[in-house]
Amino acid sequence: MKEINLKYFPLLLLLFILSAVKISYADSYNFICELNNIGKFAGKSWNSGDKKTWMINVNLESNIIKKEYMMLNTKYSQNFNIISSNNTTSLVAIEDAPLVFNSKPSISTLAFDLKTSLISLTSHFHDVGGISFTIYYGICR
């Protein structure tokens, strides 16, 4: 009976294990974003707001973009569902739990380009006296 040479068995076993395991290094990205904003409230003219800083986490595996920010010493968080389907670098997402202001609906949409780190977000909402919206735009690092 012929002996089997086990000299390379550990190496082959390691290669087999590595090929069977999904190793994902690029499914989640974290950014700090500096944004400008401009808004138009019902019955008023365009108005530029203060610069904003957001922390953004893009998770491609779960198709979620998480936005975190501080306002009046309180940390807020908002999740957006990625709805763009054929491009993993130019992302479009919609707020997963729209807010309600004064018993009126509000919705936000977000566009983020992983190649250029450019981000924009629009919020559309009903305000006292009509429809209003805000546009945020900037770059992340």
What domains can be seen in the chain, in order of their start residue?
A: 25-140 (2.40.160)
Mean pLDDT of the chain: 83
Contact 112, 56 (CB under 8 A): yes
Distance CA(96)–CA(108), nearest Å, equals: 9
- Radius of gyration (Cα) for the chain, nearest Å? 23
**Which range, 3-7, 9-13, 73-77, is most confident?**
73-77
Give the model confidence (pLDDT) of 29-76 as tens digits: 999 999 999 998 888 888 898 899 999 999 999 999 999 999 899 999
Q: What is the pTM for the complete model shown?
A: 0.75
Residue 81, token pair as written in the block: 């569902």
End-to-end Cα spacing for the chain = 64
